[in-house]
Amino acid sequence: MKKIFSKIKNWSLKHKVYSIGITIIILVVCYYTYRALFIPALLPQYTLSPVRTGSIVQTVSGAGQVTSLNQTDVKSQVSGTIESIKVSVGQHVKKGDLLATIDATTATFDLNNSKIAFAKLTQPAKVADISNATNNLNKAYSDGFTTVSTTFLDLPTVMSGMKDLLYSQSGFLSDQKSSHLTTTAQNYRNQAGISYDIAANQYAIVMNEYKNLTRTSATSSIEQLLADTYTLVKNTTFALQNTQNTITFITTNQTDYYPKDALTANANVNTWSSQINSDLTAILSGQNNISSNKNTLNTLITGADPLDIQAEQISLQQKQQAYSNYFIRAPFDGIIGRIPVNVYDQASGSSIITTIVGDQKISNISLNEVDAAKVQNGQLVNITFDAIDGLTATGTVSSVDQVGTVSSGVVSYGVKIVINTMDTRIKTGMSVNTSIVTKQNDNVLIVPSSAIKTSGKTHYVEILNIPTGTFGSSTPGISQSNKPTRQITSTNQNALYNTTTIGTKINRTIAISTATIPTKTTVTIGDTDDTNTQIIDGLTSGQFVITKTVAAGSVQTTTAPSILSSIGAQRGATGGLRTGGGAGGFHP
């Protein structure tokens, strides 16, 4: 044996090229022999996910900050001394809580007077009040008749004097003398005469009416007499005015017309006018006195007029409101942010008493025009906070701007979100990330979006036609299993089952290496979200679709064995499941 090896050695030394070639051939034969005996053929690896019933939730996201829906400076509406401050900074208050008070002495006095006036107007009349009102009304009628009597003491002098002035032969404006007047002056004189004739005719009628009455006559007759006398006196006043105008025109424009008589006539007309004007005022006062006393008596007997009661009630409400303004109250629920005043300070009509930050928090975010078109009022919003780990609040879209803002050619729209979750950790100014649910389809068939493939306008998925038993009798990770990853090895396939928890749902996947060729199944898809796609037709719940494929040459990298390595070492290095680096998992 030694001779043989010695001959081979010598030959190799003499024929180095041939010996090297023979050695390489031997090594290659050994390698492929080893690979055929100990390394199984590499297979493609597939990741499978089940077709299941779930929800498609479409969202748009945005970021913003927390602000308060209501934040306002509570101001005083009245002036006065601040008597008390009932709250402190940081204190939580409810709508209507008393914040501060201002000296209300004057407002209290006004309110009490208004209450008394309203009570008097609405309370039943007393017998004594009705009796007094009746007596006052009777006296008013008597005083009215006296006024008429006084007037008829003055009227005869006035009417007689006017008649002499206009119609007597020696009168300043008589027919005989007025022939010397200019045409314009004569027109003035004629107008005065006409107005006097009207008053004179009425004087005769009313005088006769007056003579037939006494102060004890019917009240209606006395009222009528006052009315007729008032009309008579007004007509007399008008006649005197026309006469005065005539005299003034003549003395101004025709000074040579009986200058001495002009002075006397002017003085008489002025005297008569003063008397008649005084009578006119007295008659009007008598009428008003009767009317006032009649109303007072009627009010006592029948009660106040509903409109008067309403007016007094409005006045009382105004006084009550004015009084309540001295007691400053919270306009809404919130936290006292600051109090810039002190007790005994003088408040004006615009002094800031306190600042309140409302309990209701909101977030204002900005969305691009594509996302904004999907957002509507009332949509659900999930909100997370950079400063509060683990808190996911809910909210509602309150409003979407109808007019966009353009910046650097990009249009954006503001969205206001009302934060419905009440948590004391949520502070104004915190940064938030929002996810607005724009559409949600529940109880629909879904598969991972990565399983959907497209060929032209056709959508399809790939499935493996492998018996269910291939995945194990209990189909771990597919049915009820929610345990750590299991590894199951079969004769022709190596399968790794993964269970991944997403939120509160279980999305289970299977990693499997097999020589079976996937088949394409055409599907009709519906809505999709960031993760899953709705299947309308083509699949049934419980089927498995391929979401990822790893080619056979990419599953595992194997280092060529050294010829010096022992077979035991090679077996140790290649034993177990050969599914590649990405298919590892937990082993029970």
Query: Which fold would CATH assign to domain 45-55+443-583?
Result: 2.40.420
CA distances from 423 to 191, 294, 392, 517 (A): 93, 70, 11, 55
> In the 8-state DSSP scheme, what is residue 15?
-
Within the chain, what is the greatest distance between any pair of CA atoms? 196
| pTM attached to this predicted model | 0.46
> Residue 45's closest CA among 585, 579, 519?
579
According to DSSP, residue 492 is labeled S
CA 517, CA 533: separation in Å to the nearest integer? 24
Q: Nearest-CA neighbor of 495 among 466, 471, 468?
A: 471
Token look-up 């009550």 returns 320
Q: Which residue has the tokens 């345990």?
A: 483
Tokens coding 526:
């519906």
The residue type found at 48 is: L
DSSP character string of 446-496: EEEGGG-EEETTEEEEEE----GGGG-TT-TTTSS--SSPEEEE-SS-EEE
Residue whose pair of structure tokens reads 């009022």 in the numeric block: 377
What is the distance between the alpha carbons of residues 42 and 60, in angstroms, rounded to a whole number? 44
pLDDT in tens, the chain (588 residues): 666 767 676 767 666 777 787 888 888 887 777 766 665 567 788 899 999 999 999 899 999 999 888 888 999 999 999 999 999 998 999 999 999 999 999 999 999 999 999 988 888 878 898 899 999 999 999 999 999 999 999 999 999 999 999 999 889 999 888 888 999 999 999 999 999 999 999 999 999 999 999 999 999 999 999 999 999 999 999 999 999 999 999 999 999 999 989 999 999 999 999 999 999 999 999 999 999 999 988 888 887 788 888 999 999 999 999 999 999 999 988 889 899 999 999 998 889 999 998 888 889 999 998 999 989 999 999 999 999 999 999 999 999 999 989 988 899 999 999 999 988 888 888 999 999 999 888 999 999 999 999 999 899 999 988 765 555 433 333 333 333 333 333 334 444 444 443 333 445 678 888 888 899 999 999 899 878 999 999 999 888 999 988 887 664 444 334 333 333 333 333 333 333 333 333 333
1/385 Cα distance (integer angstroms)? 84
Report d(CA 12, CA 423) in Å as an integer: 89
Q: What backbone torsions phi and psi does residue 585 show, to the nearest 5 degrees?
A: -170, -170
Closest to 276 (Cα-Cα) out of 319, 310, 231: 231
The full set of domain ranges for the chain reads 2-38, 45-55+443-583, 71-103+326-356, 127-302
Round to the nearest angstrom and report the end-to-end CA distance of the chain: 54
Instruction: Match 């009227």 to its residue by tokens.
Output: 155
What architecture is domain 71-103+326-356?
Beta Barrel (2.40)
Cα(443)–Cα(498) distance, integer angstroms: 24
pLDDT at 464: 86
Give the CA angle between residues 26, 27, 33 to the nearest 5°. Answer: 90
Bridge partner list, 537: 524
